[in-house]
Amino acid sequence: MTGMADGSDPLFEYLLRLGDNGLILGHRLSEWCGHGPVLEEDIALSNISLDLIGQATLWLGKAAEIEGQSEGGTRNADDLAFKRDILDWRNCLLVEQPNGDFAVTIARQFLFDCYHHALLESLVEARDPDIAAIAAKAIKEVVYHRRHSGEWLIRLGDGTEESHRRAQAAVDQLWGYTHEMFAGDDLDRELAALGVGVDPAGLKPAWNAMVTPVLGEATLTRPDDDWSVQGGRQGIHSEHLGYILAEMQFLPRAYPDATW
């Protein structure tokens, strides 16, 4: 594989993209702990958060291993999570958006879950046995995530006038962030050609097949594709990620030699 412009291994960069999405969205969902609309949902969101953070640990652990092999690095998954600056993060912009009200959280989760499901379905066929194994484990959890968020979006969209209004507003607010998930670049295409990764552009039909019927059942209107933002995979983020990292990374940076 050809190296990146900064000298890093393409597979390392790709694994950061996979791990960073889960870690940042998992952190976002953890903010609901103790604030869920009902006790069962408080527990459900916390469990989904733990699933995503657990998956991120596996992806970032694999990334650290690749970095060690190709560059002689000594970082581990915790180092990648807690000691990278904002420009080194590769998550898509959707997952770092604020929780907003419950409708925004559910819409964000559903739009990402459908992409995540389609991605993992492809990655279980990866030629790298570790990537295939992580994907196979993760998809068992993500099937539940997608069902959970989809059922809630239907409940909100086809519920009261107020819940419908909020659900539609949430989908409208977040829709422009979804296009980035399918915007492949040279790195994606290189690894897809090697059978190691997936070109995200090819995931859009599967995503549409999951999203469209749920929007219909929820009586929600699919927004027009008239705006989009990108840059997360290249380290260009919204101001929201800075606040997440300030909270998430404070203790490891304040006490770098501490052990658990």
User: In whole angstroms, how far apart are CA 10 and each of 20, 67, 109?
Assistant: 15, 10, 28
Structural domain contains residue 1: no
Rounded average pLDDT over 139-165: 98
From its phi and psi, is residue 184 left (phi > 0), alpha (psi between -120 and 50) or beta? beta
Structural domain contains residue 119: yes
Q: What pLDDT, on a 0 to 100 scale, did the predictor assign at position 25?
A: 98
3-state secondary structure of 198: coil
The one-character DSSP state at 256 is T
Contacts by residues 196-205 (CB-CB < 8 Å, ≥ 24 positions apart): 196/11, 196/14, 196/126, 196/127, 196/128, 196/131, 197/11, 197/14, 197/123, 197/126, 197/131, 198/119, 198/122, 198/123, 200/115, 200/119, 202/122, 203/115, 203/118, 203/119, 203/122
Query: Cα(259)–Cα(245) distance, rounded to whole angstroms?
Result: 20
Which of the four pLDDT bands, split at 50, 70 and 90, describes residue 125?
very high
- In the chain, the N- to C-terminal Cα span, in Å, equals 37
Q: What pLDDT, on a 0 to 100 scale, did the predictor assign at position 71?
A: 76
Higher pLDDT, 260 or 50: 50
Supply the Cα-derived Rg of the chain in whole angstroms.
18
Higher pLDDT, 18 or 37: 18
Above 90 in pLDDT, residue 24? yes
Structural domain contains residue 170: yes
Above 50 in pLDDT, residue 78? yes
- Beta carbons of 20 and 91 less than 8 angstroms apart: yes
Count of domains in the chain?
1
Above 60 in pLDDT, residue 3? no
Rounded average pLDDT over 223-232: 95
Above 70 in pLDDT, residue 231? yes
Q: Could you count the other beta carbons within 10 Å of the beta carbon of residue 5?
A: 5
Structural domain contains residue 2: no
CATH number at residue 104: 1.20.1260.10
Length of the chain: 260
Q: What pLDDT, on a 0 to 100 scale, did the predictor assign at position 79?
A: 95
Q: What average pLDDT does the structure give for the chain?
A: 95
Residue with token string 């962030």: 177
Above 60 in pLDDT, residue 6? no
**80-100 residue pLDDT tens:** 999 999 999 999 999 999 999
pTM for the full predicted model: 0.95
Structural domain contains residue 59: yes
Q: What pLDDT, on a 0 to 100 scale, did the predictor assign at position 83?
A: 94
Above 60 in pLDDT, residue 162? yes
Which of the four pLDDT bands, split at 50, 70 and 90, describes residue 257?
confident
Phi first, then psi: give them for residue 218, nearest 5 degrees. -80, 0
Structural domain contains residue 228: no
Question: 7 Cβ partners below 8 Å, 6+ apart?
Answer: 71
Higher pLDDT, 73 or 192: 192
Q: What pLDDT, on a 0 to 100 scale, did the predictor assign at position 177?
A: 98
Above 90 in pLDDT, residue 259? no
Structural domain contains residue 160: yes
Higher pLDDT, 252 or 24: 24
Structural domain contains residue 217: yes
Higher pLDDT, 258 or 253: 253
Element of type H or E holding 121: helix 102-123
> What domain range includes position 184?
10-221+233-254
Q: What are the strands, taking DSSP E only, across the chain? A: none
Looking at the chain, the whole-number percentage of residues with pLDDT higher than 70 is: 97
Q: What pLDDT, on a 0 to 100 scale, did the predictor assign at position 5?
A: 43
3-state secondary structure of 167: helix
